[in-house]
Structure 1
Amino acid sequence: MTLFTHLTSADDVRSIRRAGVRARSRGYEGTAGVFCLPILPSYQLTHQWGRELRRGGRRTMVAVDFRLPDDEPVSVGRYGRAHQELPSAEAAALIAGCEDARGYEVFVSRAIGAKEIHRVRGVNRVTGWRYMPDAHGRFPCPCPGCLRRGEYGSAKIRQAAESRGY
């Protein structure tokens, strides 16, 4: 059994302990499921999506640790790139063996039952990257899809983009 973790809002803890993690995210093929990462020796890599998820308005995050059978098929790949379907144990080994595992994600195309959950725990507030791995030194995209109105620093980014001619 491979141990994975899913990051979610602390507001959902009661529901998760009672009924499990609902399959409300959409994968690249449009199927419903749950995004997660294997628990790795590096805390930062295991919880790398935390800071980016906070940008969406979630303030207090928790990690839901759960076990999947080693032969269960999951989709694994880097964010924004094509994913491949592998058994969960091989997906965890692929990410653990990468020299730079930032930006990887695992997608389980079903809900996670309450009996599969190992534990629910709090996570560090400042773990992870924002926007994407290696975003430092790159100008953020000012389009309305990437930069929402009212987001911290959004007016300054839009003004800088207009002065550059974007």
Structure 2
Amino acid sequence: MAMFVHVTSAANAPRIRRSGIRAASYGQGGAHGVYCFPVLPSYTLTHQWLRELARFGSRGGLVAVHVRLDDAQHVLVGRYTDRMREAQAAVSAAEAVRRIAALEDPRGWEVFVPRAIRPREVHRIRTAPQVAGWRYLPDAHGVRPCTCLGCRVRSGYGARRLRERLPHPLDGPPPPTRVLLARVAAAGDPGDPVALREALHWFGMRRRGPLAQLGRLAAHPDPAVREELVWAVARWSTPGVTELLDGLADDPHPDVREAVEVMKEARASQ
């Protein structure tokens, strides 16, 4: 029997004792299952994901759930980056333990069980120190953090101060609304496409915006400006966004119509 550890919120412990671990996580290829890591001789490596998972908050702290799986259980194993590239290997649980234990540096590796964990497979649940492991990525300590839109964690601890201290040239923090509106006005009528697209890029980082002042850009002669308008306002909670998107859904340019379709699907799934 292969032994793994699954890190979760302490609030889930009573339910896990009764019913096991739900297959609530998404893995490679959209599969539902449970993430875990083999129990190794090194306590630090076994619990390496603790600090990273603690960044996203938990009720009552985190606990380590030890589970026993049949050696022949089908799992996926690889680094967390392999998951994005659909490159994690499908192996048995015993082989996953062997591969990770043989690595010189297993930090960042994970095992994905493509099903729920049954109650009888839960070996024990215990509290775990919240200081073990790495944050952001292995060897991140001492590396200048990236504040680009793809790397930063929204609403994370100290996120706003970090963006203000290390502003990214393309990803913010965005200039104030009054400054952006001044740039839109200075672009002229119908307006310089480059200046308008840059201003709309920054508007797209906001949750609400001046739709009344920007709505005229839906008739701009440059389709790239109309497409950027879709990306900028589609996630706003400002009244009138749906009507603006409905109007651009029949835009003569295919790129604009495609942008509207993509963003409407994203809004419907939220």
The two structures have a TM-score, normalised by structure 1, of: 0.93
How big is each residue's C-alpha offset from its partner over 1:83-116, in whole Å with a ceiling of 9 and x where there is no partner?
Answer: 1011100100111110001000000000000011
Per the alignment, in what secondary structure is the counterpart of residue 29 of structure 1? Answer: helix
Q: Which runs of 5+ in 2 are unaligned?
A: 171-270
Q: How many residues align?
A: 165
Distance 1:72 1:148 in 2: 34
Give the C-alpha shift of residue 128 in structure 1: 0.6
Distance 1:98 1:140 in 2: 27
Check conservation: 2:4, 2:67, Cα contact below 8 A: yes
Check conservation: 2:4, 2:39, Cα contact below 8 A: yes
Give the C-alpha shift of residue 149 in structure 1: 4.1
- Percent of pairs identical after alignment? 51
Q: What corresponds to 1:33 in structure 2?
A: 33
Per the alignment, in what secondary structure is the counterpart of residue 105 of structure 1? Answer: strand
- Residue 98, structure 1, aligned to residue 103, structure 2: yes
Q: What corresponds to 1:109 in structure 2?
A: 114
The two structures, once aligned, show a CA RMSD in angstroms of 1.5
Q: What corresponds to 1:63 in structure 2?
A: 64
Check conservation: 2:147, 2:163, Cα contact below 8 A: yes
Give the C-alpha shift of residue 74 in structure 1: 0.5
Cα 1:37–1:149 change in 2 (3 A) is: closer
Cα 1:35–1:142 change in 2 (3 A) is: same
Q: Which has the larger radius of gyration?
A: 2
Distance 1:48 1:4 in 2: 13
Choose between structure 1 and 2: higher helix proportion: 2
Distance 1:149 1:79 in 2: 20
Q: What corresponds to 2:157 in structure 1?
A: 152
Distance 1:95 1:120 in 2: 23
Q: What corresponds to 1:20 in structure 2?
A: 20
Per the alignment, in what secondary structure is the counterpart of residue 80 of structure 1? Answer: helix
Give the C-alpha shift of residue 80 in structure 1: 1.2
Per the alignment, in what secondary structure is the counterpart of residue 157 of structure 2? Answer: coil
Distance 1:112 1:165 in 2: 45
Distance 2:125 2:3 in 1: 13
Check conservation: 2:56, 2:156, Cα contact below 8 A: no
Higher relative contact order (CA 8 A, sep 6+): 1
Q: Which runs of 5+ in 1 are unaligned?
A: none
